[in-house]
């Protein structure tokens, strides 16, 4: 029995590893995929990455309505969502577009429905577009994994930064490394980005298998 099981398990691991390496996601310096893919926004308008891009680039954040890393946990963590509008203001001032993308297709009939997204955006005063990624197509093209998961592109839609917003999801006043803000400022002023990639922390994107 052991001789049969072990090779079978090894085969499964090899297949899983191969499937993972076949879709490593976009790397620093690569062009954004699916820039003409249309996504419905909470404002009723269909949007594309190309249409949302501004002169100096585009900030894409995969987000959702319920993940504690986004919305926080009462008494424990502020979450990153409270920093979204500040990031929008910084991006706008530097000629960079911004969009929030909801790819939680498995929760589309509930917490992450378009109706729920509209309410969430209104309740939280979102300044930026918030769009539905049907069937997680954009997330799959990016190989985005978490909410939030950040991707910053320059004016040529080349990836210059990906990962986390900063180093403290719990408390914005305790942030020591503003990865994303620093990347935006350096990208738009022609300076090299010291940390072009960080580990994205958050809830898994809820895909339909």
Q: CB–CB of 162/28 below 8 Å? A: yes
Give this prediction's pTM: 0.88
1 lies in some domain: no
- Domain harbouring 165, CATH code: 3.40.30.10
The pLDDT of residue 4: 42
Predicted confidence (pLDDT) at residue 117 exceeds the cutoff of 60: yes
8 lies in some domain: no
The pLDDT of residue 30: 98
The answer for residues whose C-beta is within 8 angstroms of residue 154's C-beta and 6 or more apart is: 56, 57, 160, 187
Rounded mean pLDDT of 148-170? 98
88 lies in some domain: yes
Predicted confidence (pLDDT) at residue 56 exceeds the cutoff of 70: yes
The pLDDT of residue 15: 32
With bands split at pLDDT 50, 70 and 90, how would you rate the model's confidence at 5? very low
Domain of 194?
27-204
Total length of the chain: 209
Predicted confidence (pLDDT) at residue 2 exceeds the cutoff of 50: no
The pLDDT of residue 10: 34
The pLDDT of residue 24: 61
Q: Which of 20-29, 113-122, 166-175, 192-201 has the lowest mean pLDDT?
A: 20-29
Predicted confidence (pLDDT) at residue 202 exceeds the cutoff of 80: yes
Give the separation between CA 117 and CA 94, rounded to whole angstroms.
27
Average pLDDT score over the chain:
90
Give the separation between CA 32 and CA 37, rounded to whole angstroms.
11
9 lies in some domain: no
With bands split at pLDDT 50, 70 and 90, how would you rate the model's confidence at 169? very high
Nearest alpha-carbon partner for 148 in 137, 168, 163: 163
Rounded mean pLDDT of 40-51? 98
123 lies in some domain: yes
Q: Which of 7-21, 66-80, 133-147 has the lowest mean pLDDT?
A: 7-21
Rounded mean pLDDT of 77-84? 98
6 lies in some domain: no
Predicted confidence (pLDDT) at residue 12 exceeds the cutoff of 80: no
Our count of domains for the chain comes to 1
3-state secondary structure the chain: CHHHHHHHHHHHHHHHHHHHHHCCCCCCCCECCCCCCCEEECCCCEECHHHHCECCEEEEEEECCCCHHHHCECCCECCCHHHHHHHHHHHHHCCCEEEEEECCHHHCCCCCCHHHHHHHHHHCCCCCCEEECHHHHHHHHHCCCEECEEEEECCCCEEEEEECCCCCCCCHHHCCCCHHHHHHHHHHCCCCCCCCECCCCCEECCCCC
19 lies in some domain: no
Predicted confidence (pLDDT) at residue 47 exceeds the cutoff of 50: yes
17 lies in some domain: no
Predicted confidence (pLDDT) at residue 7 exceeds the cutoff of 70: no
The pLDDT of residue 18: 31
């Amino acid at each position: 029995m052991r001789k049969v099981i072990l090779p079978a398990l090894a085969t499964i691991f090899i297949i899983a590893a191969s499937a993972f390496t076949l879709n490593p996601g976009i790397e620093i310096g690569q062009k954004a995929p699916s820039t003409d893919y249309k996504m419905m926004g909470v404002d009723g308008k269909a949007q594309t990455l190309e249409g949302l891009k501004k002169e100096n680039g585009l900030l894409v954040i995969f987000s959702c309505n319920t993940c504690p890393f986004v919305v926080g946990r009462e008494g424990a963590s502020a979450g990153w969502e409270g920093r979204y509008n500040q990031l929008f203001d910084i991006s706008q001032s530097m000629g960079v577009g911004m969009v929030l993308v909801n790819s939680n297709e498995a929760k589309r009939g509930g917490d992450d429905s378009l109706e729920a997204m509209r309410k969430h955006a209104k309740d939280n005063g979102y300044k930026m577009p918030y769009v539905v990624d049907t069937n997680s197509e954009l997330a799959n093209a990016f190989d985005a994994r978490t909410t939030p998961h950040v991707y910053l592109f320059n004016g040529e839609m080349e990836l210059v930064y990906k990962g986390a917003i900063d180093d403290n999801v719990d408390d914005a006043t305790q942030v020591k490394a503003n990865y994303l803000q620093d990347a935006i400022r350096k990208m738009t002023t022609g300076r090299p980005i010291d940390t072009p990639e960080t580990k994205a922390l958050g809830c898994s994107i809820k895909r339909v298998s």
